[in-house]
Amino acid sequence: MHRTGMTELEVVLAVARRRSFRGAALALGMSTTAVSSAVAGLEARLKVRLFNRSTRSVALTDAGQRYVERIAPALAEIQSAGEEAATGPGVPSGTLRINAPQGAAFLLLEPLFSEYAQRHPQVRIDLVSESRMIDIVAEGFDAGIRLAESVPQDMIAVPLSRDIRMLVVATPEYLQRHGTPRHPRDLLRHQSIGMRLSHGGIYHWELERKGQKLQMDLPVRLAFNELPAIRQAVLLGLGIGFISEWFIEEELASGALVPVLASWCPSFGGLRLYYSGHRFVPARLRALIDLARELRLDAVG
């Protein structure tokens, strides 16, 4: 019986992660034809279709999703074992792949990732920023970074920041022209700068005070899927925004942005580094976990 080789498994995972035969070929240094042939050959031996293909997209079938979820952790452990054999036990090496929300890379570059890079020169850091939630194990990431409330329950979480708040903010000039909201309903008379989510919808502002919760669906003047663009639009006075205070600390301190309705903006769990407790933790990830605890980012973030 023909045995499935490592190369075929790597090809399947690369296609699944990039949702593209061409993208997988570029990542693996193979031809697109070779990638397609490897997938087709494996499907023929397994007698199951792993991918649905069209001229515009490639997506895992249900069977393909289950297959990838099973082989991804095993392949990651094999690769980690090879790296450890080459560098010695406990020596961080290889590529540290982290999936994080947009804006997190900017916020955590100093001091976490800059210090990590200096201490572990044999590790390459690959930080992918995106708003959608993914299965970090199936998609080949060592760990993920998300707000505490978004971390899957079966994951181990390490604090990366203190509790934070989303603040309703605007420039002093904007408030002088349009008035300062005194109650959340006053926001309905303002133009907002919206956050475009991965599924295409606009994020609804969530406000709360003394147990009363409000979800605000505001008129949107401009919508972006990147936090720097939202911040810049608010700074230009184009509308009122709802932004994490951690992301606008300098603007708040200088008075360039002014918070309103602060009593309706409670704090919530901050950023967490999370990883699976059901798989081998490679030295490169263990080093990041230890550094996060050493720097006590949860106390100073």
Give the residue extent of every domain in the chain: 6-60, 71-160+270-300, 164-268
**How far is 192 from 187, CA to CA, in rounded Å?**
8
Show Cβ contacts of residue 142 under 8 Å, excluding neighbours closer than 6 positions.
76, 96, 97, 98, 136, 275, 282, 284, 285
Q: Which CATH class is domain 6-60?
A: mainly alpha
Residue 155 predicted with pLDDT over 70: yes
Q: Confidence class of residue 297 from pLDDT cuts 50, 70 and 90?
A: low
67 Cβ neighbours under 8 A, 6+ residues apart: 12, 46, 48, 50
Q: How large is the average pLDDT for residues 11-16?
A: 90
Percentage, residues of the chain above pLDDT 90: 48
Q: Which residue has the higher pLDDT, 86 or 216?
A: 216
Altogether, the residues listed in the chain come to a count of 301
Question: DSSP labels for 144-210?
Answer: EEEEGGGS-TTEEEEE-S--EEEEEEE-HHHHHHH---SSGGGGGGS-EEEEBPTTSPBPPEEEEET
On whether the 71-160+270-300 domain is CATH 2.40.40.20, my answer is no
Q: How far apart are CA 84 and CA 155, in angstroms?
A: 24
Whole-model pTM?
0.66
Report the distance separating Cα 152 and Cα 81, nearest Å.
27
Beta strand residue intervals within the chain, DSSP E: 51-53, 58-60, 94-100, 123-129, 143-147, 155-159, 164-170, 192-195, 205-209, 212-216, 220-224, 241-244, 258-260, 267-268, 271-276
**SS3 assignment, position 51:** strand
Q: What's the pLDDT score for residue 1?
A: 40
Q: What is the pLDDT of residue 298?
A: 47
d(CA 140, CA 142): 7
pLDDT score of 300 more than 60: no
Per-residue confidence band for 167, with pLDDT thresholds at 50, 70 and 90: very high
3-class secondary structure, 241? strand
Read off the pLDDT band of 137 (50, 70, 90).
confident
pLDDT, one tens digit per residue, over 46-102 is 999 999 988 788 999 999 999 988 888 778 777 777 766 665 667 888 889 999 987
pLDDT per residue over 104-129, tens digit each?
A: 777 787 789 999 999 999 999 998 88
CATH topology of 71-160+270-300 equal to that of 164-268?
yes
Q: What is the mean pLDDT of the chain?
A: 87
β-strand pairing of 58-60 with 241-244: unpaired
Domain 164-268 class? alpha beta
Q: Return the higher-pLDDT residue of 217 and 250.
A: 250
- For residue 299, the model assigns a pLDDT of 44
Q: Which is more confident, 31 or 280?
A: 31
pLDDT at 3 over 60: no
